[in-house]
Chains A and B, each alone.
Chain A
């Protein structure tokens, strides 16, 4: 019995019946003791279980000496013969008594809440297929829940997002959690969501669902807009592409209205934070053949884009976002021909109106072709852009018939 789960390896097995959870009724601190022995600790403030280092143990593990990884202090835990309480002592530290808490043996590993303290997801169902770009998870939680934390993981088990559910207020019996690609907490394919409720007595209840997000690609052009005001403020953004808007995220409505922060967080009226505003438009005509631009060998595309985007005013984060989307598409053949569409063409094709008006607006839009062999293009001169004051940045590119 050496299982102990701290990391979010979401193993869908219940806690072992012999695992024991003890809680200090005064401080709400929790000890989780499993065979081995293994001991973990959680506080009311930090309710995820942290493993403690075993210094030594004796008497069939009824006396266990433990310490935190980076602390010299050694704590002696003495478990009474009936396994109903643990006395925790250390020289110079106040003595603590932890009392045994009964845990639902079917609960997920990591659960320290007593039966009756629950959290559950009412929709979507476990194993559901999701087809909307935005999905609201709904759930219920027992009374006295202090907070809920949500972790989303992608198909590879990598954490996509992790954080406190801001729309939940202590004492609420229901909650809602939004997931979407734009919020970066849901990816195409399989996703897992773990909801962790921490109760006022320090107990933790867990629920998780796995869903599959299905989507087809049909995008034609994919600009995103970042806003960096000097102070946090309301900003309205309107974009009017010739082809009309075919998609947007968050929802465009009659235009976006967000609270933008100097660090670039964009919060909609419903409280959801987005890293950028996404819009998409259709192309009515095939773009003209490239006659000017850059022809770059596959091995050089990454460096070329990094230096070009820097010259054009994009910062590291924006460049990384750009590269994540475009680099794989631009390197499928030995060569890539790239044209940075001049600003006046962009403004004409997709007028952008931002209120209050930024001090600097950077718009980068590329048109590219993947090539088997290099072609000759008239050289293009990139006009360096500077960021100053309230800055708005947009990048995107053209994708053809999908």
Chain B
């Protein structure tokens, strides 16, 4: 049957044997290593971030090959408990991963010292961990190994305690791996937009903000980064940035992005930036304005807008608007909102072009402009605005870039009562300029939704196999 995984639990004594979802075929795994990407580490990492999708097998092989050269005596892999089969924090104590290179066994003593309830069977089927097992078994057969699963929304105090226990227990040459994927279920350009903010957050070691980014396990990321921080390794370096679309020959709108980080000795190198998703025209009657910190939570109301008209654009697990610092639907006439976001002074302003232009000062000034001409809107870029988005300028128009600033005279309809083609704009303001990503949408029966046909055409990708 589809994706029948062949996961088996063999109970022998107190050992839970985990067989991966990939058939244990030696030629396949040898081929993965043969095609390993060449990756260079900037320095010896204390902790790293690596994905848990084998669509990145050759990158993982390259990454692990370099990590193995450091000869860590202990490897702790921390990943999400996707199926919530474990406890909040679950440490594998008697888990053995069956790999084509032989069994990879848990270091029971070290695992027990981490003091978590024993739920070894929960590791069966958890790809976030078993994906790494063949790499570790082949490249680091002598290393002591401990797998850790973290559930969504484990209290911060428990995460902090785990990071501290790891710091106390692990030898200086240990390696902690956060097995984490980033943006989920989005077309590749939008995933890249999501990743702008997570890249910045990780680089700046802003541990609180991790939980507002588009990450499949901010908990795992938090523990690995906090552990690194405790050991003075707060310099983050992103070595690779990949997306599952690149190895697919047809358009996928549910791509996953991967970012490979190392955390090495040093202090954070902040990358001040603010990412904002901006929609096309939105009627004031929707009540949708500026929304900051759009998060999804499986168990409780996250506070994200529930407006019915958004249902077709929200995407799987409500992730479309998740990740950036803010989503801008609209502002009241003349409204100005000023925020300090990720090290930047950000001004969101509604400007009536028929009136005198107010002061537009800030590191990142995002203007919704209405009531005037295209020339007047364009002129705002000379008057302090970094991003100008027109309101009420009709059908969607191409973006205009001017000296690192952007004019989107019209993003077309969104929730304005109009139908037809539009786009959603993702802007990332930095001190060097504004980067943009767009995704095409189409409004039908009042509901904006991703426009796959136009997206496929823009990316030069067919929508289906012949």
- Considering only CB atoms, which chain A residue lies closest to B3 in the complex? A217
- Considering only CB atoms, which chain A residue lies closest to B300 in the complex? A286
Q: Taking the complex as formed, is B238 at the interface, i.e. its CB lies under 8 A from any CB of chain A?
A: no
Cβ contact within 8 Å between B312 and A215: no
Rounded to whole angstroms, the CA-CA distance of A300 and B299 in the bound complex is: 30
Chain B proximity of A157: nearest CB distance (Å): 9
Cβ contact within 8 Å between A131 and B4: no
- Considering only CB atoms, which chain A residue lies closest to B6 in the complex? A328
Cβ contact within 8 Å between A189 and B316: no
Rounded to whole angstroms, the CA-CA distance of A215 and B83 in the bound complex is: 18
Rounded to whole angstroms, the CA-CA distance of A400 and B57 in the bound complex is: 24
Mark out the residues of chain A between 218 and 246 whose CB falls within 8 Å of any chain B CB in the assembled complex. Answer: 218-220, 222, 224, 243-244, 246
Mark out the residues of chain A between 277 and 292 whose CB falls within 8 Å of any chain B CB in the assembled complex. Answer: 278, 282-284, 286
Cβ contact within 8 Å between B57 and A328: no
Mark out the residues of chain A between 170 and 223 whose CB falls within 8 Å of any chain B CB in the assembled complex. Answer: 181-182, 187-190, 210, 212, 214-220, 222
- Considering only CB atoms, which chain A residue lies closest to B123 in the complex? A332
Cβ contact within 8 Å between B4 and A212: no
Cβ contact within 8 Å between B4 and A214: no
**Size of the chain B interface, CB-CB below 8 angstroms:** 58
Chain B proximity of A214: nearest CB distance (Å): 5
Mark out the residues of chain A between 255 and 283 whose CB falls within 8 Å of any chain B CB in the assembled complex. Answer: 270, 278, 282-283
Cβ contact within 8 Å between B2 and A222: yes
Q: Which residues of B lie under 8 Å from residue A3 when comparing CB positions?
A: none
Cβ contact within 8 Å between B27 and A325: no
Q: Taking the complex as formed, is A333 at the interface, i.e. its CB lies under 8 A from any CB of chain B?
A: yes
Q: Which residues of A lie under 8 Å from residue B312 when comparing CB positions?
A: 244
Q: Taking the complex as formed, is A82 at the interface, i.e. its CB lies under 8 A from any CB of chain B?
A: no
Q: Taking the complex as formed, is A322 at the interface, i.e. its CB lies under 8 A from any CB of chain B?
A: yes
Interface of B is mostly: loop
With A214-B55, A246-B316 known as contacts, the answer to whether A188 contacts B3 (CB < 8 A) is: yes
Rounded to whole angstroms, the CA-CA distance of A129 and B244 in the bound complex is: 13
- Considering only CB atoms, which chain A residue lies closest to B9 in the complex? A332
Cβ contact within 8 Å between A190 and B28: yes
Q: Which residues of A lie under 8 Å from residue B7 when comparing CB positions?
A: 328, 332
With A182-B2, A218-B256, A333-B121 known as contacts, the answer to whether A401 contacts B82 (CB < 8 A) is: yes
Q: Which residues of A lie under 8 Å from residue B70 when comparing CB positions?
A: none
Mark out the residues of chain B between 184 and 234 whose CB falls within 8 Å of any chain A CB in the assembled complex. Answer: 184-185
Q: Which residues of A lie under 8 Å from residue B24 when comparing CB positions?
A: 155, 189
Q: Which residues of A lie under 8 Å from residue B185 when comparing CB positions?
A: 218, 246, 282
Q: Which residues of A lie under 8 Å from residue B249 when comparing CB positions?
A: 132
Rounded to whole angstroms, the CA-CA distance of A132 and B250 in the bound complex is: 8
Q: A308-337, CB under 8 A of B: which get 1 and which 0? A: 000000000000011011001100110000
Rounded to whole angstroms, the CA-CA distance of A181 and B463 in the bound complex is: 19
Q: Which residues of B lie under 8 Å from residue A189 when comparing CB positions?
A: 22-25, 28
Cβ contact within 8 Å between B2 and A224: yes
Q: B312-356, CB under 8 A of A: which get 1 and which 0? A: 101111100000000000000000000000000000000000000
- Considering only CB atoms, which chain B residue lies closest to A188 in the complex? B22
Q: Which residues of B lie under 8 Å from residue A251 when comparing CB positions?
A: 463-465
Q: Which residues of B lie under 8 Å from residue A332 when comparing CB positions?
A: 7, 9, 85, 121-122, 124-125
Q: Which residues of A lie under 8 Å from residue B299 when comparing CB positions?
A: 286
Cβ contact within 8 Å between B82 and A402: yes
A-B pairs with lowest CB-CB distance, top 5: A282-B316, A155-B23, A190-B25, A155-B25, A189-B23
- Would you give 27 A-B contacts (Cβ < 8 Å), ordered by A? A129-B31, A131-B244, A131-B248, A132-B465, A188-B21, A189-B23, A210-B27, A215-B54, A216-B244, A217-B5, A220-B316, A222-B3, A246-B185, A246-B254, A251-B463, A282-B316, A284-B314, A324-B4, A325-B1, A325-B2, A325-B3, A325-B4, A328-B4, A332-B122, A370-B83, A400-B82, A400-B298
Contacts A154-B23, A155-B24, A181-B2 known; list 11 others, CB within 8 Å: A129-B31, A129-B35, A181-B3, A188-B22, A189-B23, A212-B28, A219-B2, A246-B253, A278-B2, A284-B316, A400-B84
Could you tell me which B residues sit within 8 Å of A by CB distance? 1-9, 21-25, 27-28, 31-32, 34-35, 53-55, 57-58, 82-85, 121-122, 124-125, 127, 152, 184-185, 244, 247-250, 253-254, 256, 298-299, 311-312, 314-318, 463-466
